[in-house]
């Protein structure tokens, strides 16, 4: 989700067309939106969640499927709504216009216009998965075209159709003025996509996470530059465009704008489908804490709520829809710990930190934040052990499946817990799971393995070794 560039100056005529297009239906977002995901087993009801959205001052919400309960809860509110179309049905929608029309009939028209749907986003970051290159990529734009035609046939003209891409759609992203799409997608996917967006006056939706860019290279990117708090002495001057950047998000967005301009579509409007900062993470994940998350999102709100709009250096004054990720910490999301800690709210509805998405609250009025404790890389040893609690421990099926998976990866992962091994006793499924989880993670973490196991595992700084049973560990 990280890369950067944009073109030098747009001709005056294109600029005038660009800014006039902002007044098109579905084009203005007075307040930031929120991504409302549901990958948690302890989240509030849809009705309660919508009430919480409104209490945060949100002006819009993006949901990851056409969930009827959520859509019913949104009916009659003033929230603008974005609905995602699942990745797996893109090929069907792209090859069969009737199926696309049936999807619109089943998932949009029963709720529209009581629900203020403004965007249908066909697929989520599909260009990040090369496994979908043959099965899905060729059908993306045809699916969008078919859905758009269905909308027009129903005289629905205030719902824009688009898709979302991560920053890895760019092959070159730095400096921003050098931004270019990957060679494998530029012509077969991106050019026809941009042609469609231009024709329908829709938006290019990008998932832009300064946290991911900074965390992958903290020695080269300043944290305050990623958090919108750097002073002018740390601005970045782009030698190609002669533009000056004060923050990392603007760099990322202008890299995308440059890439679009390089294909001849510099007038296509841009929206931020996802951005944010994690409020916690694994021990070895730098900078994921409440202090940084609150700082980033509060500053983002102030920047995006400013009128006249700040835009970006390459697109000054440009208004764009922006959706913060996410409403909740979602405990069932796989991957590293940050994946489960992007929420503005904890699952029970308590705020992770104060933030007003309306942009009316001055930054100075917020209470002080806890100091960050992990803005430097963790240097000690870490282990991965069973941490599912009593409820999970009583689910022998789930623990047994995770244990079997860890032990089934070879490389002697579970030799020590076999009968006669130094870690066989105590002969309990929880004890064996702890050893297996750690052994698997230590062996394969460099290849991308995570300490999760469907929520059954957690990291610890405390060595779980006992007696002659020694748990492996690698220093970070």
Query: What is the β-pairing status of strands 322-325 and 383-386?
Result: unpaired
Tokens of 165: 């891409």
CA 248 to chain centre: 16
Rounded-to-integer distance, Cα 99 and Cα 86, Å: 14
Specify which residues 120 forms β-bridges with.
Answer: 83, 161
Rounded-to-integer distance, Cα 306 and Cα 436, Å: 52
Specify which residues 172 forms β-bridges with.
Answer: 180
Tokens of 455: 């929520």
Q: How many other C-beta atoms are found inside a 10 Å radius of the C-beta of residue 22?
A: 15
Q: 129, 101, 235, 240: which is closest to 178 by C-alpha? A: 240
The torsion angles phi and psi of 127, rounded to 5 degrees, stand at -75, -5
Residue spans of alpha helices (H) in 263-324: 290-305
The torsion angles phi and psi of 262, rounded to 5 degrees, stand at -65, -25
Catalytic residue annotation: 125, 274
Which residues neighbour 395 within 8 Å (Cβ) at sequence distance 6 or greater? none
Beta carbons of 317 and 373 less than 8 angstroms apart: no
Beta carbons of 90 and 139 less than 8 angstroms apart: yes
Handedness of CA 464, 470, 471, 476 (dihedral sign): positive
Q: How many other C-beta atoms are found inside a 10 Å radius of the C-beta of residue 458?
A: 19
Distances (CA, A) of 167 to 28, 199, 209, 254, 265: 24, 23, 8, 11, 18
Buried b (16+ CB within 10 A) or exposed e, 153-173: eeebeebbbbbbbbbbbbebb
Rounded-to-integer distance, Cα 345 and Cα 308, Å: 30
Which residues neighbour 372 within 8 Å (Cβ) at sequence distance 6 or greater? 287, 289, 291, 292
Beta carbons of 149 and 159 less than 8 angstroms apart: no
Tokens of 55: 């209490």
């Amino acid at each position: 989700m990280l890369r950067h560039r944009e073109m030098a100056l747009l001709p005056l005529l294109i600029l005038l067309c660009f800014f006039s297009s902002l007044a098109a239906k579905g084009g203005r977002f007075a307040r930031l939106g929120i991504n409302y995901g549901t990958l948690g087993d302890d989240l509030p009801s849809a009705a309660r969640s919508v009430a919480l959205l409104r209490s945060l001052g949100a002006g819009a919400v993006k949901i990851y499927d056409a969930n009827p309960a959520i859509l019913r809860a949104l009916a009659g509110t003033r929230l603008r709504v974005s609905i995602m179309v699942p990745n797996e049905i893109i090929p069907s929608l792209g090859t069969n216009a009737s199926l696309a029309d049936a999807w619109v009939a089943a998932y949009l028209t029963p709720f529209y216009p009581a629900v203020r749907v403004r965007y249908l986003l066909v697929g989520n970051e599909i260009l990040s998965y090369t496994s979908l290159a043959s099965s899905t990529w060729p059908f993306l734009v045809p699916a969008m075209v078919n859905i758009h035609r269905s909308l027009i046939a129903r005289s629905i003209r205030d719902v824009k159709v688009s898709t979302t891409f991560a920053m890895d759609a760019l092959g070159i992203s730095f400096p921003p003025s050098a931004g270019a799409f990957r060679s494998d997608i530029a012509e077969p996917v991106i050019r026809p996509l941009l042609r469609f967006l231009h024709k329908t006056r829709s938006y290019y939706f990008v998932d832009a996470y300064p946290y991911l860019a900074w965390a992958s290279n903290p020695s080269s990117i300043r944290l305050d530059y990623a958090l919108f708090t750097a002073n002018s002495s740390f601005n970045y001057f782009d030698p190609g465009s002669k533009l000056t950047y004060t923050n990392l998000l603007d760099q990322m967005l202008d890299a995308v704008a440059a890439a679009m301009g390089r294909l001849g579509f510099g007038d296509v409007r841009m929206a931020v489908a996802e951005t944010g900062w994690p409020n916690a993470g694994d021990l070895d994940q730098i900078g994921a804490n409440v202090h940084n998350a609150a700082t980033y999102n509060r500053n983002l709100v102030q920047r995006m709520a400013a009128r006249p709009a700040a835009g970006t250096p390459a697109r000054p004054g440009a208004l764009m829809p922006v959706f913060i990720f996410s409403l909740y910490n979602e405990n069932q999301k796989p991957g590293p710990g940050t994946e489960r800690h992007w929420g503005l709210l904890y699952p029970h509805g308590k705020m992770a930190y104060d933030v007003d998405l309306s942009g009316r609250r001055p930054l100075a009025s917020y209470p002080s934040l806890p100091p960050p404790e992990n803005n430097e890389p963790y240097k000690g040893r870490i282990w991965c052990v069973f941490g599912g609690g009593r409820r999970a421990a009583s689910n022998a099926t789930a623990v047994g499946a995770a244990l079997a998976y860890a032990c089934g990866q070879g490389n002697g992962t579970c030799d020590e817990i076999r009968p006669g091994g130094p870690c066989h006793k105590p002969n309990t499924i929880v004890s064996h799971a702890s050893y297996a989880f750690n052994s698997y993670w230590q062996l394969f973490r460099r290849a991308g393995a995570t300490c999760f196991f469907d929520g059954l595992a957690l990291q610890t700084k405390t060595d779980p070794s006992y007696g002659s049973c020694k748990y492996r560990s690698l220093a970070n």
